[in-house]
Chains A and B, each alone.
Chain A
Amino acid sequence: MSDVMHDFELYQPASMADALELLDDHGKNAWIVAGGKDSLDWFKDRVMTPPVLVDISGIAELQGIREEADGGLWLGAMTTLTEIAESDLVTAKFPALAEAAGRVASPQIRNVGTLGGNLAQDTRCFYYRDGFPCYRAGGNTCYANTPTAMNREHTLFEASRCVAVTPSDTAPAAVALEAEMVIRNEDGERTVKAEDFFVSPDIDITRMTVLEPGDILIGVRLPGKWAGSSQYFEKVADRNVWDFALVNVAMAAKLEGGRISDARIACGAVQCTPRRLTDVEDLIKGETPDEELETLVARVASSGAKPLNYNHFKVPLMANLAKRAVRSLA
């Protein structure tokens, strides 16, 4: 709670080449700042004190939205959440992402916060954020998963030592829309499916994404496959502004002759990564959306959940949100 940032070197490259060179030079000592909405809290609290900051907000290549040949979209990582929420292109083709971006934090934060930052942000576990030496912070215990811990906002699934959840609203939309994350470093560029972009603690407990030192998430490609499909996004949080999801849901679906021919659905805030509801997807494909299907969806959506001390409410909430997503297809 110091509120006074540590000393650091600040670099503001104007090109990708310069940015990548800086990241390469400084390795693990470098921290990428985009909108800064996640980073500055860490620095002010002096929980994270990287000696080098690379501010990528001045790199034009990372900005903007454009159509792709397959009918999809390219979204620069530095595109603000407001720009995404208000984009005619995104709204027309991928309304689930537009709605998700429009429900992040507050209007002020969305004006500065970026898509890349929202996708790559760290978890909001209050123990971890408070500087507890937990597994995720390099320690050897989880303070949020004790018999008396406060863990209302923590995991239902896939806990592996750490019980923190993904706080992102755009992440489940990216997974549902089969987004591809384009990452560049000094060695070149690679594309990672959204589903693989987010890292669960059993793979690496100290980070939330595949991004490694030297990597820059330069943009998100939304394939044309789901453009213009039936989509749904809903977030439940205590407040309508500046609050992280208790549970959120994103869905993309196609209907043929009144039946669901294809669908992808994912929930956020229920495990460390966006959780694809494959049981729901398997259930609804080929089905006609109706009340009976909703009941069945609710039955399977949160099946297998392992609630902690204070979060079993997420079980019905997750089921209800999946049900509402499917209901939207009726």
Chain B
Amino acid sequence: MSYRLIGKDFTPPDLEAKVTGTARFSEDFRADGMAFIRILSSPMPHAQVKDIDLSKAERVPGFLAALTPEEVKQPAPPGQPILSAEPAYVGQPVIAIAAETEQAAEDAIAAVDVELEPLAFCVDPLESLKPGGPNATLGGNISGRGIDYQEVKWTGRDFAVAGDERLPMGNPVVEWNFGDIDKAFSEAAVVVEESIVHASNAHHAMEPRSAAAYWENGKCHVWGSTQSTAFAQPSLATLIGIPPSDLVFFAEFCGGGFGGKAASYPLMALPALMSKKLGGRPCLIRVSRAEEYYNGYARAGFQAWAKMGFRSDGRLIAADVYVVQDLGSTSGFWDFNNVGSATTIVFQPENMRFRAVPVLTNTVPKGAQRGPGENQTANMFEPLLDKAARELGIDRLAIRTINAPGGGGKDAKYGKDQGSVTSAYLREALEKGAERFRWAERAARSGERNGSKVRAVGIGQAYHSAGSNGFDGLVRITPDGVLHIHTGVGNLGTFSYASTSRVSAEVLGYDWDRCVIERGGTARSIPWNLGQFGSNTNFTMTRTNWVAATDAKNKLLAIGAMEMGGEPEDYDLADEHVVARADGSKRMSFADCASKAMALGGGYDGHEVPEEINPLTKAAVAAIAGTGLIGVAKDTLPKDGTVPALAAGFIEIELDLETGKWEILDYVGVADCGTVIHPQGVAAQVRGGAVMGFGLATSERHVYDPAYGRPGARGLYQAKPKTYLDVPVQMGWDAVDEPDPQNPIGAKGIGEPLEGAASSALICAISEALGGHIFNRTPVVTDMIVNVAAGRPQSHKPLQTNCE
């Protein structure tokens, strides 16, 4: 299919502001009379607030007001409150104080006398599951999506049988299976069985979650740092305690989120509540880098066990997986479920059992982080494929291609119900990457020594669901003929808010310089869109922009027929005109059509809207009704099956056995993301995902002192995301570029699996450099490599987590 805009590079409209530093983030918002908020956070991993004495704080010059836990809405436990009287991790906000200056606010915080009663705590899920083990919250130790908040303890026998080396496997709270794994294991040519640890790690978004707010005329105005705009509105309004219609929300720029700022979050509501207490006075909370580590979100870690049975040709015929998830101190995210589903789609096991227990710990709350669960799956299980390949004597690429879904995905199975997918080309991604990377040639020289250095190659694969449906699109053609594309998806930094908006321009035949993207806040009349998370934007918002533009197109054709005679079918759109098919001289400009729409009113200019669109979209349309020709519609296009984004990564490294250091010689990432709508966007996702993945694989992790529950990774130099000088300057990228049949332009999501493909490829390459040593632990940190190379045991216990 040939497109004018789709598949072409362009300059996203927010790029210049970001490059030149003129972009304004939440922390940059200032207003006359602004008050500044600081928080008193818990120094203990688990405690109960017994008494708060503000008398000295109130005497600090500049003190304005304080908020305490009983003044804010408390969610049902183990939800995350804005302020907590039972803090469940070091750094959890307990009290907020506003003052004339930030300095005064901090001085007042220092003057607060708060009496905390320490409570039992744990930073290791397995410790909590032991008989009599500590619960991270007073009400229990188990939670999670679809799981009752409860206490679960395993038996002493469960732990004794497992010993120190193997994951104890007491009763799970999640269990499903398909096929007959016992029979399949009995028929397997090779069975690999490993216990594994995957660390938790921070999101490291460049912009901390600062927020500002004020009240005016009954409306609450909030500046927040979030990946999403429309999707954040209702939940933020709920946190503030107002209907969404009373919230004016600004979120023009977001300095990164990686899932940690998927929508709203409790801290974002704090300035609004403080402002209300101060009679609407503007309030700002500036969140520091350290605070971001203390009370931001993090990826969930796992203690896991997997047993995989392979046929002699490498086909995975049986998979048995058990994961214990570190939920953090709240109900967290459902990474555990995603381990199960990712295993099914990437490896296509013929028979499988999945069991899981998500356990609360007194650590930073866990939120979604790029490929939540799916990328841990890659890091935990891709090395097992290599181990099986070595034992079977087959190529590491071959064992992946024989299992990977491909050919469009007609035979691919997904999830516990073994449902269908909209398209899948992972096998093709592997083949394309292998050719570009010259896998056969490089694999042949893998293991070559050069002094203390070893050259090695690795492959990784990963998955994330990549599309949703049912949201609204909204476009407007104003009397000057300009196309306004209203999008509420948010601006995480991927530029997909812009690339998906171009679909509307494509449908209507617009030149891109005649289009304006209306975005960045509810005041811009944004439709109800899903948030910018979950790699869904490309699929979901190309559909909404397609249906909105199609609605506008139909109205243009109707007006053309109305004005020039005949039926709408007698006309086409060309060069911003409605043009008669039979006579090119019969034409009416879009600008004139917009004026006509305003004269016609009704559905043409937004005074009437489809019943099925979301109330927030209706409110947005109402605000612009009468200002042009309105195209608005709900995405009711067919969708059947899961939309998978898949990726393959190929890496060559040189590892120094004397220092444990490695250098990446080459990396190639290939995305199965449907039609490529923005090549530079895909390239940025491949490269950015890889950089993030290399940190996930080898240096990023949470460390907690188990005796005091205090975190060790509370700054960039301790949490250790990779930097430009740790990664190659050039990295190769490609895409399968096969359209997804359930999207009008064939697009589907991109971003998340590109991290897991890179991280698991690197882990596999390190393993290869060490003669196939399987670490069964992510990240593979320098000291672990040094120890293996020197023939020494590791310092950590096999299943220890949140440790060095």
Contact = CB atoms under 8 A, between A and B. Distances in A.
Nearest to A153: B804
B294 interface: yes
A160 B103 CA distance: 39
Nearest to A243: B717
Interface string A288-312: 0000000000000000000001111
Interface in A37-54: 41, 44-46
B216 to A, nearest CB: 28
A244 B715 CA distance: 13
Contact of A242 (B110, B717, B784): B717
B706 A148 contact: yes
Interface stretch (B234-242, B371-379, B487-495, B787-795): B787-795
Interface stretch (A2-10, A85-93, A208-216): A2-10
B38 A1 contact: no
A1 B783 contact: no
Nearest to A4: B106
B362 to A, nearest CB: 15
B267 to A, nearest CB: 14
Contact of A312 (B102, B105, B795): B795
A31 interface: no
Nearest to A308: B795
Mostly, the A contact residues are loop
> For chain A, which range describes its interface: under 10, 10 to 19, 20 to 34, or 35 or more residues?
35 or more
B661 interface: yes
B742 to A, nearest CB: 42
Contacts of B789: 316
B708 A143 contact: yes
A135 interface: no
A1 B41 contact: yes
Interface stretch (A112-120, A174-182, A186-194, A233-241): A233-241
Contacts of B699: 238-239
A242 B789 CA distance: 25
B705 A243 contact: no
Given A2-B38, A2-B106, A7-B103, A240 B659 contact: no
Contacts of B105: 4
Contacts of B452: 320, 324
Given A143-B705, A152-B783, A309 B795 contact: yes
A238 B294 CA distance: 22
Given A238-B699, A316-B786, A130 B710 contact: yes
B667 to A, nearest CB: 16
Nearest to B787: A313
Given A236-B782, A239-B723, A320 B659 contact: yes
A239 B781 CA distance: 10
Given A239-B699, A239-B722, A241-B723, A313 B795 contact: yes
B703 interface: yes
A246 B710 CA distance: 22
A127 interface: yes
A324 B714 contact: no
Contact of B707 (A1, A149, A323): A149
B705 A46 contact: no
Contact of A46 (B110, B289, B291, B781): B110
B714 A317 contact: no
A317 B102 contact: no
Contacts of B294: 1
Contacts of B718: 126
Contacts of B782: 236-238, 246, 313
Given A2-B106, A3-B288, A240-B725, A126 B790 contact: no
A156 interface: no
Contacts of A4: 38, 102-103, 105-106
A239 B707 contact: no
A274 to B, nearest CB: 19
B417 interface: no
Nearest to B712: A126
Contacts of A148: 705-707
Interface residues of B, number: 55
Contacts of B706: 148
A309 B782 CA distance: 16
A70 B783 CA distance: 42
A132 B707 CA distance: 13
A311 B103 CA distance: 40
Interface string B640-668: 00000000000000000011110000000
B716 interface: yes
Interface in A223-279: 234, 236-244, 246
B479 interface: no
Interface in B687-717: 698-699, 703-708, 710, 712, 714-717
Interface in A312-330: 312-314, 316-317, 320-321, 323-324
Taking each of B103, B291, B795, which has the highest tally of chain A beta carbons within 10 Å of its own beta carbon? B795
B792 A312 contact: yes
B288 A1 contact: yes
B44 to A, nearest CB: 13
Taking each of A5, A243, A313, A321, which has the highest tally of chain B beta carbons within 10 Å of its own beta carbon? A313
B432 interface: no
A150 interface: yes
Given A2-B38, A3-B288, A313-B792, A150 B703 contact: yes
A127 B795 contact: no
A146 interface: yes
Contacts of A240: 723, 725-726
Given A1-B714, A150-B712, A152-B795, A310 B804 contact: yes
A106 interface: yes
A323 B715 CA distance: 33
A243 B659 contact: no
A309 B723 CA distance: 29
Taking each of A238, A309, A320, which has the highest tally of chain B beta carbons within 10 Å of its own beta carbon? A238
B723 A106 contact: yes
A7 B290 CA distance: 20
Contacts of B786: 313, 316-317, 320
B122 to A, nearest CB: 13
Given A3-B290, A317-B786, A244 B708 contact: no
Contact of B291 (A3, A126, A143): A3
Taking each of A5, A44, A320, which has the highest tally of chain B beta carbons within 10 Å of its own beta carbon? A320
Contacts of B714: 1, 130
B75 to A, nearest CB: 24
Contacts of A146: 707
Contact of B659 (A5, A41, A317): A317
B259 to A, nearest CB: 23
Nearest to A149: B705
B683 interface: no
B705 A127 contact: yes
Given A152-B804, A236-B782, A323-B658, A310 B710 contact: no
Nearest to B658: A320
Contacts of A106: 723
A1 B796 CA distance: 28
A314 B718 CA distance: 18
27 contacts: A1-B290, A1-B714, A2-B109, A2-B288, A3-B286, A3-B289, A3-B290, A4-B103, A4-B106, A7-B103, A41-B715, A126-B712, A148-B705, A150-B712, A150-B804, A234-B659, A238-B720, A240-B725, A243-B720, A312-B787, A313-B660, A313-B783, A316-B787, A316-B789, A317-B783, A320-B658, A320-B659
Given A4-B105, A4-B106, A316-B787, 20 more contacts: A1-B41, A1-B291, A2-B288, A3-B288, A44-B290, A126-B718, A149-B705, A236-B661, A238-B698, A238-B699, A240-B726, A241-B724, A244-B717, A310-B804, A311-B783, A313-B660, A313-B790, A314-B783, A317-B659, A320-B658
Nearest 5 pairs of A and B residues by beta carbon: A3-B288, A313-B783, A4-B106, A316-B790, A320-B658
Interface of A: 1-5, 7, 41, 44-46, 106, 126-127, 130, 132, 143, 146, 148-152, 234, 236-244, 246, 309-314, 316-317, 320-321, 323-324
